[in-house]
Structure 1
Amino acid sequence: MDFSLWAFSGRPFARTLADARWAADRGLRGLWLADHLMANTPDDTSACDPISECWTALAAIAALVPRIELVSHVSPTTWHHPVVLLKRVIEVDQISEGRAVLGLGAGWQVNQHAAYGIPLPPPRERVDRFEECIEVISRLRTGERITFDGKHIQLRDAIVSPTPRATLPLLVGTNGPRMLRITARFADRWNTWGQPGQVGPRSAALTEACEREGRDPGGIRRSAQALVRLTTDPAERDAFLEEHGGRGFAGSAEELIDAFGRYAEAGIDEFGIHTIAFSDDPDRRHDELDRFADEVLDRVATKAQR
């Protein structure tokens, strides 16, 4: 199993850059960055907390940090026009010499749509638009010249140049049955939240969707994330689990290694470590991340090589 770092985009860019450099130095696969216009709130009100613009930040990191993949986690098709988005992603791909990954989602966060006057239609219509967007992107990324007359997207004799340096990977973050079918049809990667017991049935559903679409299930790389805390203190573990519920897990190094083994058994190829589960102080956060890498991630890699 590979590991990537999901950097919290509510911190100043200098901290995100430091996180990216840490990930590259520790041999992680990639850096994930959420694509939001504002932070989420429990009551859907507007948030005033600062938040990085995803593809601008990834472009800067592409020029400054080597090796790691640069992943939007994920870019909503509610406000991104597919051609404009693809052009931005290809620029990051060019800067990084082929390390960009375009993560896509149908859009969900109420407050940012409401605050900025961006329509957030019912789920069915959102998925309709998403399907048109990912089809357009999947075709244009190859250099194909297309005319497309959809309900939401209309293109005439459209072509994108330059094209990505190699095949630009398309990642879809979803759990829904229809979205899984779209993933099976167009995507190269899939992502989901959850603990091993939650992820396994979703991965199996993706396999079934691939089989219905005539797609080799092994052709889609699968990733997951949860909030993770390394601790041997029962009180700290219980407090972490109470705070994060089904979105996280905590335990000793041995317990976490066992959990990652269960992700692998569920078909997961890559796991995203979210920095929000670590200290907000930059020096302390990287000390905590180093300990996590030394005691857990490196041992998972060693175990996999046996």
Structure 2
Amino acid sequence: MPSFSHAASARELFPSVIAQARAAEAAGFDAAFVMDHFYQLPTIGAPDEPMLEAYTALGALATATERIQLSTLVTGNTYRNPAMLAKTVTTLDVISGGRAVLGIGAGWFGLEHTGYGYEFGTFTDRFERLEEALGIIVPMLHGEHPTVDGKWYHTQEALNEPRIRDDLPIMLGGGGEKKTFALAARYADHINMICNASELPRKIEALHARCEEIGRDPKTLETSYLGYMIIDEDGDRARKLHAEMLAKQAEQDMSGLSTPALRQGQTDRHFVGDPDDIAEQIQRRVLDQGVHGLIVNMVTNGHQPGILELAGQTLSPLVHRD
């Protein structure tokens, strides 16, 4: 659920989020995600469009749903002390009855770091921090009490109770073939690949190489792909929505946050059309490349009645095969 701009007012916003999560659950989706951002992203809208704090929203969704897993896509490591993040996601797991997934990444959106006063640092800094954070978070999720005196973080026998399981899954998000994939091979249960669909064969090969370097069977690391999906029973209507979305992104050039090159790359991540079109595109461009599953960003019409149900009917037969 990448956008909160569809409600008529702030008071009506969260009921619409609950409705989407419940519709996704009823439609057979495995998980519901919110972004861990404070400003809207440049490929979706203007920075001042509505954005909810992720873990507060997920805690509320835990009480409004029954089966669906709940996660961020993905938590920005730079925004939270890692021990506190372990406590936060574990609390979400307790509240939801074991449905939390820790989605995490290094962080990348400089504008909101500046706006909120978080240290952004260099690309290398952020990945050093992520690796050090995982060295704290993973033991805490397993019930251990890590003491760490690191470059970035410090803990002393950090406790994390209550917990209802020791195998809360960790999902890394990103497309970096060296740093991100190496961290996923070492620490993660799942990697969500954020890249152009045409890059997937190379990404899968690189991920397998990172696993083999540490002696991990690549089959033990679940994979998914993040794509923008615009589906409608009327394929022409879906393509019209797609054109409108691209036009909105072009307007964002005025802010300097979106560029023609960025938008051109983004279209390689788009899946547009009627259910038959979508099924063919997902199968050929994603699943046939060796990816296990799909996370769909339905920014244009996912909030509209019946669309999530249509998406579930279209996607479930593709990814839920014996």
Please indicate the TM-score interval, normalised by the length of the shorter structure: 0.7 to 0.9
Residue in structure 2 matched with residue 187 of structure 1 by the alignment: 188
Contact 2:172–2:192 at 8 Å: present in 1 too?
A: yes
Q: Which has the higher strand share?
A: 1
Match of 1:27 in 2: 28
Residue of structure 2 in register with 1:3 after alignment = none
1:54 CA displacement:
0.6
Of residues 198-207 and 50-59 in structure 1, the stretch that sits farther from structure 2 once superposed is: 198-207
Contiguous gaps of at least 5 residues in structure 1: 1-5
Q: Which residue of 2 aligns with 1:54?
A: 54
CA distance in 2, matches of 1:18, 1:238: 23
Identity %: 28
Taking structure 2 as the reference length, what is the TM-score of the superposition? Answer: 0.83
Q: 5 Å matches for 1:80-91?
A: 80-91=80-91
CA contact (8 A) 1:237 1:250 kept: no
Residue 246 of structure 2 is aligned to residue 250 of structure 1: no
Which 4+ runs in 1 deviate beyond 6 A?
Answer: none
Q: What is the match of residue 292 of structure 1?
A: 311
Q: Which amino acid aligns with 1:8?
A: S
Task: Kindly state the Cα deviation for residue 201 of structure 1 after the two structures are TM-superposed.
Answer: 1.7
Once the two structures are superposed, the pairs formed by residues 95-106 of structure 1 within 5 Å of their partners are 95-106=95-106
Q: Does 1:178 align with 2:179?
A: yes
8 Å CA contact 1:35, 1:75 repeated in 2:
yes
What do the CA deviations read for 1:180-222 (whole angstroms, capped 9, x no partner)? 1111001111012345322232122111101101111111111
Q: CA deviation at 1:242?
A: 5.0
Match of 1:239 among 235, 243, 248: 243
The answer on whether the counterparts of 2:62 and 2:70 sit within 8 Å (CA) in structure 1 is yes
Tell me how far apart the structure 2 counterparts of residues 56 and 72 of structure 1 sit (CA, whole Å).
11
Q: Deviations 1:251-281 (Å, cap 9, x if unpaired)?
A: 34333212222322222222112231316xx
Q: CA deviation at 1:100?
A: 0.0
Higher alpha-carbon deviation: 8-17 or 230-239: 230-239
SS of alignment partner, residue 272 of structure 1: strand
Instruction: Identify the range of structure 1 (124-133 vs 136-145) with the bigger mean alpha-carbon deviation.
Output: 136-145
Quick one: structure 1 residues 23 and 162, their matched pair in 2 at CA, closer, same or farther if it must change by over 3 Å?
Answer: same
Query: Helix, strand or coil: the match of 1:103?
Result: strand
SS of residue paired to 1:146: coil
The alignment partner of 2:47 has SS state of: coil
Q: Deviations over 1:59-106 (max 9, x none)?
A: 111112000000111111112111111111111100111100010010
State the TM-score, normalizing by the size of structure 1: 0.87
For the Cα contact (< 8 Å) 2:83–2:158, is it kept in 1? no
Between the two proteins, the alignment pairs up a number of residues equal to 292
Q: What does residue 158 of structure 1 align with?
A: 158
- Structure 2: gaps of 5 or more residues: 7-12, 248-265
Query: What is the alpha-carbon distance in structure 2 between the residues aligned to residue 240 and residue 215 of structure 1?
Result: 44
Shift of 1:116: 1.3
CA–CA distance in structure 2, aligned partners of residues 117 and 30 of structure 1: 31
User: What is the deviation of 1:7?
Assistant: 4.9
Structure 1 residues 36 and 260, CA, compared in 2 at 3 Å: closer, same or farther? same
SS in 1 for 2:107: coil
- 1:213 corresponds in structure 2 to 214
